[in-house]
Amino acid sequence: MLQVAYIRENKETVLKGLAKRNLKNADELVEKTITADEERRSIQTQLDSILAESNKISKDIGQLFKSGERQKAEILKQKTVQLKEQSKILTENLQNKANELQELLYLIPNIPNEIVPAGSSEEDNLTVFEEGKVPVLYQGALPHWELAKKYDIIDFELGNKITGAGFPVYKGKGAKLQRALINYFLDKNSEAGYNEVQVPHLVNEASGIGTGQLPDKEGQMYHDAQDNLYLIPTAEVPVTNIFRDVILKEDEFPILKTAYTPCFRREAGSYGAHVRGLNRLHQFDKVEIVRVEHPTKSYEALDSMVNHVKEILRELNLPYRILRLCGGDIGFTSALTYDFEVFSTAQDRWLEISSVSNFETFQANRLKLRFKNSDGKTELAHTLNGSSLALPRVMAGLLENCQTPEGIKIPEVLVKYCGFEIIN
């Protein structure tokens, strides 16, 4: 969430940034926000004046009673009754206006970093890096959903029976490969200095608001209405909320966390061949990395996260590319995002497998995540997160790119984790 003072004092900069996002009602939204803030501050000034007057009169009443001027004191007491009534009305108005302002601020996305390219959709994203050789597959190579059926390692129909579409069942070597990937990712993250945590898979409303998933503008979160809890769409939500309402010491930076969780997304409106098999699921496994950084170090940290994911993909020997997302495709809370995509040779298309983002102070402002600087003043921290990695499309890429006529060869780095060299 942007700070209202920043919006008020940097209106043109904010509008320029929102224009990069192609936010159609940006002018109206910013004007409403500034107006609501002015009205809130005006009400606050009136309330402060009345409270100050009421406090002064209360002291005067005490002095009048002491001096025996009871009649004058009674007249002033009547005045305080009027002031209390006005104060009550103003307090209610102030709360209503503060709530209105808060709701408006929830609607304003983060301002993109200046290096975010202009654009309206994923077609305008900028490829900044590409590495790895796309394998030449044998005649008759199959997409991963056919390989899953051939080797009986993932059962989409069984998942559909148990729950519905988008909830696959991993079997035999498929389940072991899934577990191997999770352990490998966690080990790599731990070796890089990330502290592993296990977190709840449901979060409360305050946590969803803190990281920007709520208000859920696209209806993608699963919600338990009875307890008002939400199934997490990513470990980013519970892990980052560890630091909600926390004031850190400057020497505590950097803070690095990693977590494995299942993730749950409704993926409403997702249809067609491009979502077949593991390409898009309602439940999937993911290993996440989260960082809390000093504002002067967050972009250095972002580069470090990007290089970390690069190293993992090199070890898996998967061809990949990195995209800098354009203003029209970047997430609501992000200032700068790099997407990693693996090339699926059997599908002849790129599959997104990771997003690495810097949110600057946007989440921290919602979370009230602050630190004391060297001058003793309180500042907002910067938060970052990345997939390291999301499993379904990594699994799809491995199955398709590593297939041979004899079976699916397991990357060398994973053999010690899964205990076999080939799926056949």
Q: What is the pLDDT of residue 77?
A: 82
Q: Which residues of the chain have pLDDT under 50?
A: none
Q: What is the pLDDT of residue 272?
A: 57
Judge whether 309 and 354 are in contact, CB under 8 Å. yes
In eight-state DSSP terms, residue 209 is H
Q: Name residue 44's amino acid.
A: Q
Token readout for 350 is: 């790129």
Judge whether 310 and 86 are in contact, CB under 8 Å. no
- List b or e across 143-171, with b for residues whose CB sees 16 or more CB atoms inside 10 angstroms: bbbebbeebebbbbeebeeeeeebbbbbe
- List b or e across 389-404, with b for residues whose CB sees 16 or more CB atoms inside 10 angstroms: bbbbbbbbbbbbbbbe
Q: What is the pLDDT of residue 238?
A: 98
Q: What is the pLDDT of residue 413?
A: 98
CA–CA dist 60, 74 (Å, integer): 11
CA–CA dist 101, 29 (Å, integer): 11
Q: What is the pLDDT of residue 148?
A: 98
What is the side-by-side order of every strand in the sheet holding 255-264? 126-131, 320-324, 336-344, 349-360, 382-390, 283-293, 255-264, 195-196
Q: Which helix (H) or strand (E) holds 75?
A: helix 70-106
CA–CA dist 370, 61 (Å, integer): 44
Phi-psi region of 392 (alpha: psi -120 to 50; beta: other; left: phi over 0): alpha
Token readout for 327 is: 């203003």
Q: What is the pLDDT of residue 271?
A: 58
Residue 367 burial (CB count, 10 A): 27
- HSE at residue 395, side-chain half, CA atoms within 13 A, is 30
Q: What is the pLDDT of residue 274?
A: 65
Going from the N-terminus, what domains does the chain have, and what CATH number goes with each? Answer: 4-106 (1.10.287), 122-423 (3.30.930.10)
CA–CA dist 385, 392 (Å, integer): 19
